[in-house]
Amino acid sequence: MSQQLAIDSFAFARNGRVLEGTLAVSDLERLHDLLAEVEGEVRFRVQGVKGEQGQAQLRLTASATLPLACQRCLGAIDFAVEVDSLLELVPEGAEMSQDELEDDSKDFLPVAGELDVAELVEDEVLLALPVAPRHEKCSLPGATEAGERISPFAVLAGLKGKPN
Ligand SMILES: [Zn+2]
């Protein structure tokens, strides 16, 4: 199981505490499907911050180089992930105003109090990854040379029974 890194989020923010460390990628299970190989680690730092109006906020930074699986050939693409997020803590279930929801300068993080930092880091890393990573140049596993590909028009023509 992954290590538990639970913090009392509001007190952590209020007291300006700092937690930093590394997480093994092997423990971040939601990343595994996206990776060509499960290896490496994620460095992270969480700092409690008091907002201008006294809001409880966390600044989360994290970095890692992850071997993402290419969507075409499934080979590894080394991708440098950098996370730098300002998260404002809000009590779980709290109503939010339209202005707050439209504020792009920060994200809101509903928490019940205790917060699992490992899970938060995993969430933020997932958000920072490209949706469909691909090598600039690569081919499908087992694909033939580009020149041998069957053109879709040839297939269409074949279906209609009218070659050419
Ligand atoms: Zn590829």
Residues with CB under 5 A from ligand 1 (ion): 70, 72-73, 75, 135, 138
3-state secondary structure of 63: strand
Q: Within 10 Å of residue 111's Cβ, how many Cβ atoms? A: 21
- Report the separation in Å between the CA atom of 142 and the middle of ligand 1, taken as the mean of its atom positions: 12
Task: Report the DSSP beta bridge partners of residue 22.
Answer: 43
Return the pLDDT at 156.
56
* Residue 68 alpha carbon to ligand 1 centre in Å: 10
Spacing, Cα 63 to ligand 1 middle (Å) = 23
Q: What pTM was estimated for this model as a whole?
A: 0.79
**Residue 24, φ and ψ in degrees, nearest 5:** -70, 135
pLDDT tens track of the chain, all 164 residues?
445 689 999 999 999 999 999 999 999 999 999 999 999 999 999 999 999 889 999 999 999 999 999 999 999 999 999 999 999 999 988 888 888 778 777 789 999 889 999 999 999 999 999 999 999 999 876 655 544 455 555 555 555 554 55
